[in-house]
């Protein structure tokens, strides 16, 4: 498809965009020590601009020291200008355009504060300090011009300070900056004026705003949102970048949507606002395909489309859509493990991606090897497939040996659960990518130490994954007791009342799968139901358990299984009393006991033959796919 609407040019004041695709501002965590730009962040933006993205919006830049926590860049001194000029120059050199998101985080960045930060939110700001912040926004805009940005964006959404002033649910002031709608808008209108007065007449001015103020005790009405945007336009805002969500309620999930939300979940909400405002609209919200992106432009629902996490997952998304190569796009699966989870995890140095562990590593490229090696990859799961792809691109000769009749390993089973079709598609895509690259694959081939000796490779990668080992529960061998793998592979289909034992991440999804097929399910977990799920995924869990009518037995230890029943001990949270119980059921599914497959014999043979080897993925320890693909990438780069 040509997608003419999506690839049509668009002009905003003096800025001409070559197409309608924007990289929204998204935190990458790549800023160095709060104040510096490194080659990794530059390469990240250059890669997406080089692929044809019309405009990259640089994420959340602090306009003053108070909210400037460690993961953000600043724009309030000359050093920041010099640093950011390196970024804009590099993007301009490859034909791209850059915008910058002018930001005061209010209470939201408090988690990442150090001793230099000050918590500023509507209720603790003096009027004098409010005026200073307005001036600081204006000065940051002036510096953005000096740093070479092509436009600016005022971030007035997502519970950051401007949104806190705007929303009655967060602004409890009783003076001229709080209370009625006019007063709540005052800080934002003053800020918009300050920004507009400090940028050239022909520079476009974007504003990020929510289409719905929701899930708080008090919220803005739709009419107020529309009036706010239109009056902002009168003050000089050119484009409404319409998002959704806040950090004080369930609406957090709309900011970084996980797979639980449908593709394009926000389109109609944005269009509803667009029909009532006087300026062009940029829309965002899990738009992942060229067809959907083109359609929202063609149908007039958006004027510009934000393609965010899809461009994290594949920096060449724009070029592949433009050139009719959509089948080669690495698609975002909505796991949010490498993006959102990395942001809130202080141990993670930058974002990454389950489907693209090369994120934040773009500056390294894929250097060609000086000596091509034959690399024996034992196991065709996510870790092995990623290692093979990286090795092949670098000029090595990887050969994948897989004991089953298909590639993708256990990750393919992750796509069986409800709402996880994107995960299943990733498993299929990875197997197809191996074929596209011409990587040799040996299916139905179990590797023994003797096989290693026979092949005599230059290097061995052991990626044999994990498997189910029945836990030591009395009666585990009773009839109608199955493993999670038997269910997910379709080998068995338990019916009636099913007890699912071990309801962490996988067990919870197995419970939902069985319940979606009409079975009565009781989820049993030693800790809490859903243990191991990330924060955004867990936020959906109460509603999903209710929807599927799944009964819960948390804090429960299974003590024995007999035909037709499970025996357990449950600990009272308050008294710590251990109370025994019995649950009648027709079948039991065990979702514990996953452990690495043994590989000592393979390692020993490599050592005997002096063949270098690596163990990666679940073969080290049963973990998630993000770690598996990252280890595959790392070993592929190291050989």
Residue 5: what are its φ and ψ, rounded to 5°? -65, -45
- DSSP, collapsed to helix, strand or coil, labels residue 144 as helix
Paired sense of beta strands 374-378 and 551-554, if any = unpaired
Closest residue by Cα to residue 256 from 244, 271, 239: 244
Token code pair at residue 345: 């995890």
CB 329 within 8 A of CB 320: yes
DSSP string, 96-137: --EEEEEE--TTGGGGG--TT-----GGG--HHHHHHHHHHH
Token code pair at residue 65: 């020291």
Order of strands, edge to edge, in the sheet holding 556-562?
Answer: 556-562, 565-571, 578-584
Helix-strand-coil split of the chain, %, nearest 5: 35, 20, 45
- DSSP, collapsed to helix, strand or coil, labels residue 152 as strand
CB 283 within 8 A of CB 266: yes
CB 123 within 8 A of CB 175: no
Closest residue by Cα to residue 188 from 236, 149, 143: 236
Closest residue by Cα to residue 484 from 592, 386, 397, 636: 592
Give the separation between CA 32 and CA 25, rounded to whole angstroms.
18
160 a catalytic residue: yes
615 pairs with which residues across the strands? 462
209 pairs with which residues across the strands? 242
Residues 6+ apart with CB under 8 A from 300: none
CB 78 within 8 A of CB 53: no
- DSSP, collapsed to helix, strand or coil, labels residue 613 as strand
Give the separation between CA 347 and CA 349, rounded to whole angstroms.
6
CB 262 within 8 A of CB 289: no
Residues 6+ apart with CB under 8 A from 140: 61, 63, 64, 75, 76, 102
CB 154 within 8 A of CB 198: no
Find the farthest-apart pair of alpha carbons in the chain and give their distance in angstroms, rounded: 82
- DSSP, collapsed to helix, strand or coil, labels residue 461 as strand
- DSSP, collapsed to helix, strand or coil, labels residue 205 as strand
Catalytic residue among 3, 44, 72, 160: 160
CB 202 within 8 A of CB 13: yes
Q: Which residue has the tokens 């000065």?
A: 139
Paired sense of beta strands 594-596 and 466-468, if any = antiparallel
Closest residue by Cα to residue 427 from 467, 381, 476: 381
Name the residues annotated as catalytic. Answer: 160
């Amino acid at each position: 498809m040509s997608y003419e609407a999506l690839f049509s040019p668009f002009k905003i004041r003096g800025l001409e965009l070559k197409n309608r695709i924007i990289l929204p501002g998204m935190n990458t965590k790549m800023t160095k020590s709060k104040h510096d730009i490194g080659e990794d962040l530059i390469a990240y933006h250059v890669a997406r601009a080089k692929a044809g993205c019309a405009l990259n919006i640089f994420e959340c830049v602090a306009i003053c020291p108070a909210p400037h926590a460690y993961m953000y860049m600043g724009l309030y001194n000359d050093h920041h200008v010099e640093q950011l000029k390196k970024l804009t120059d590099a993007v301009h050199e490859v034909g791209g355009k850059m915008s910058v998101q002018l930001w005061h985080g209010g209470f939201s960045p408090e988690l990442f504060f150090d001793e230099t930060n000050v918590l500023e939110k509507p209720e603790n700001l003096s009027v004098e300090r409010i005026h200073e912040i307005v001036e600081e926004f204006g000065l940051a805009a002036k510096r953005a011009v000096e740093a070479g940005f092509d436009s600016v964006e005022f971030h007035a959404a997502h519970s950051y300070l401007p949104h806190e002033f705007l929303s009655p649910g967060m602004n409890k002031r009783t003076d001229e900056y709080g209370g009625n709608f006019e007063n709540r808008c005052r800080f934002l209108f003053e800020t918009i004026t300050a920004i507009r007065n400090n940028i050239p007449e022909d520079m476009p001015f974007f504003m990020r705003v929510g289409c719905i103020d929701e899930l708080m005790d008090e919220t803005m009405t739709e009419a107020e949102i529309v009036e706010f945007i239109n009056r902002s336009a009168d003050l000089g805002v050119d484009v409404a970048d319409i998002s959704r969500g806040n950090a004080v309620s369930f609406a957090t999930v709309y900011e970084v949507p996980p797979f639980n939300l449908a593709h394009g979940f926000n389109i109609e909400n944005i269009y509803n606002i667009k029909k009532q405002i006087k300026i062009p609209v940029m829309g965002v919200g899990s738009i992942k395909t060229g067809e959907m992106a083109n359609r929202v432009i063609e149908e007039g629902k958006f004027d510009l489309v934000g393609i965010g996490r899809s461009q994290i997952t594949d920096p060449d998304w724009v070029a592949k859509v433009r050139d009719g190569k959509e089948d080669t796009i690495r698609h975002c699966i909505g796991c949010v493990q490498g993006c959102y989870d990395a942001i809130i995890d202080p141990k993670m140095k930058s974002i990454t991606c389950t489907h693209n562990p090369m994120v934040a590593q773009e500056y390294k490229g894929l250097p060609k090897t000086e000596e091509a090696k034959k690399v024996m990859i034992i196991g065709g799961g996510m870790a092995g497939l990623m290692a093979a792809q990286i090795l092949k691109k670098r000029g090595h000769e990887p050969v994948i040996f897989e004991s089953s009749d298909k590639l993708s390993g256990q990750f393919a089973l992750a796509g069986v659960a409800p709402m996880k079709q994107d995960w299943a598609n990733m498993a299929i895509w990875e197997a197809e990518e191996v074929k596209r690259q011409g990587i040799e694959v040996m299916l139905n081939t179990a590797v023994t130490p003797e096989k290693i000796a026979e092949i005599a490779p230059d290097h061995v990668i052991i990626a044999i994954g994990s498997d189910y080992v029945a836990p030591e529960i009395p009666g585990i061998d009773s009839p109608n007791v199955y493993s999670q793998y038997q269910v997910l592979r379709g080998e068995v289909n338990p019916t009636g009342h099913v007890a699912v034992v071990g309801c962490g991440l996988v067990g919870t999804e197995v419970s939902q799968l069985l319940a979606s097929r009409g079975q009565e399910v009781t989820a049993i977990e030693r800790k809490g139901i859903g243990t191991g799920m990330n924060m955004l995924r867990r936020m959906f869990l109460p509603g999903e358990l209710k929807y599927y009518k799944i009964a819960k037995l948390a804090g429960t230890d299974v003590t024995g299984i007999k035909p037709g029943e499970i025996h357990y001990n449950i600990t009272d949270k308050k008294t710590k009393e251990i109370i025994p119980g019995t649950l009648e059921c027709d079948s039991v599914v065990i979702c514990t006991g996953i452990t690495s497959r043994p590989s000592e014999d393979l390692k020993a043979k490599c050592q005997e033959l002096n063949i270098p080897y690596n163990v990666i993925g679940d073969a080290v320890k049963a973990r998630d796919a993000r770690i598996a693909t990252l280890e595959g990438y790392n070993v592929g780069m190291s050989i």
